[in-house]
Amino acid sequence: MNVLIIEDEIKAARKLSDLITEVDNSIHIIEVLGSVEESIKWFREHPSPDLIFSDVQLSDGLCFDIYKEATVSNPIIFCTAFDEYLIHAFETNAVSYLLKPITKEQVDKALEKYQSLKQAFQSDNRGQSKNISDIITYFSDVHKYKSSLIVNYGEKIIPLKTADIAFIHLQTHSTIITTHNKQQYFYSSSLDYLEGLLNPAIFFRANRQFIINRNAIANAEHYFNRKLIVKLLIPTPERIMISKLKASEFMLWLEQ
């Protein structure tokens, strides 16, 4: 398998390369690129790799500028010290998002996920092969989830980043958005509508009353009749209960 690394820090690139080949010595690192400009030029002049490991913040901009300018249909494993780009990453061809410092275990798990996805889509029900773009279409989804919502606060109209949302709660007939810093905003649309706007890799519809952000979760506890109670890092107006029918789905989502 041919792997391309996009990383502007030489030491970090060398460490990542070593980790990748340590996990799988059959992998060939075909190139290490250090900038947006260099990467765009490379993609225009070379055949596509099987997989890309990409830092987000490069010396001359964000890596997302590469994927806007060059045609890249290959899966990408993002490696960054910042979690703020998670939603943006999964609007591209991301199959995994690793937070620095990168460990061997992270690389191993990411490569295992890539191989699992690849094998799952090797053929359709008629035995016809599918290419990697089919995998990307399925897992990144053609639907572009919102990175911001427009909310009203008094006379102000505010673009609220979805990453800042801790949970959304239906209280009586009002939809209330609560941020990680406990700021609250009323929203005119239903939870059903908001659920369709939010990235399911980040947000989970716990029940009829709550949508929760995985980054706001403190823990979950077993409850009577195989239900779960989810506790967040900030107070909630009522207990967040996961039914036994959704408990397995929630646990699978939580470990992604």
CATH code of the domain containing 165: 2.40.50.40
Smallest CA-to-CA distance from 6 within 46, 66, 89 is with 66
Tell me, yes or no, whether 179 and 122 share the same domain. Answer: no
Instruction: Dump pLDDT digits (tens) for 214-243.
Output: 999 999 999 988 899 999 999 999 999 999
- Which of these three, 83, 116, 140, is where a domain ends? 140
Q: Judge contact between 63 and 72, C-beta under 8 A.
A: no
Tell me, yes or no, whether 15 and 120 share the same domain. Answer: yes
Q: Judge contact between 55 and 7, C-beta under 8 A.
A: yes
Tell me, yes or no, whether 217 and 124 share the same domain. Answer: no
What does the alpha-carbon distance between residue 127 and residue 10 come to, in Å, rounded to a whole number?
Answer: 43
Tell me, yes or no, whether 16 and 128 share the same domain. Answer: yes
- C-alpha dihedral, 52 to 144 to 187 to 163, nearest 10°: 10
Instruction: Dump pLDDT digits (tens) for 18-59.
Output: 999 999 999 999 999 999 999 999 999 998 899 999 998 898
Tell me, yes or no, whether 178 and 217 share the same domain. Answer: yes
What does the alpha-carbon distance between residue 23 and residue 15 come to, in Å, rounded to a whole number?
Answer: 12
Tokens of 192: 């059903």
Write out the H or E segment, with its range, that includes residue 22. helix 10-23
Query: What is the domain range of residue 35?
Result: 2-140
Q: Tens-of-pLDDT digits for all 256 residues of the chain?
A: 999 999 999 999 999 999 999 999 999 999 999 999 999 999 999 988 999 999 988 989 888 889 888 877 788 898 888 766 665 555 566 788 888 889 999 999 899 888 877 765 554 444 444 444 454 444 444 345 788 898 988 888 899 999 999 999 999 889 999 999 999 999 988 999 899 889 988 999 999 999 999 999 999 999 988 899 999 999 999 999 999 999 999 998 988 7
Tell me, yes or no, whether 93 and 175 share the same domain. Answer: no
- Which of these three, 140, 161, 194, is where a domain ends? 140
The number of folded domains in the chain is 2
- Which of these three, 115, 140, 165, is where a domain ends? 140
The neighbour count for residue 24, using CB atoms within 10 Å, is 14
Tell me, yes or no, whether 67 and 158 share the same domain. Answer: no
Tell me, yes or no, whether 14 and 130 share the same domain. Answer: yes
Residue 32 backbone dihedrals phi, psi, to 5 degrees: -120, 120
Strands 148-153 and 61-62: unpaired
Tell me, yes or no, whether 95 and 201 share the same domain. Answer: no
Contacts of 16 (CB under 8 A, 6+ apart): 5, 7, 53, 79, 102, 107
Tell me, yes or no, whether 134 and 94 share the same domain. Answer: yes
Tell me, yes or no, whether 121 and 6 share the same domain. Answer: yes
Strands 51-55 and 2-6: parallel
CATH number at residue 82: 3.40.50.2300
User: Both ends of the chain: CA-CA distance in Å?
Assistant: 24
DSSP single-letter state for residue 209? S
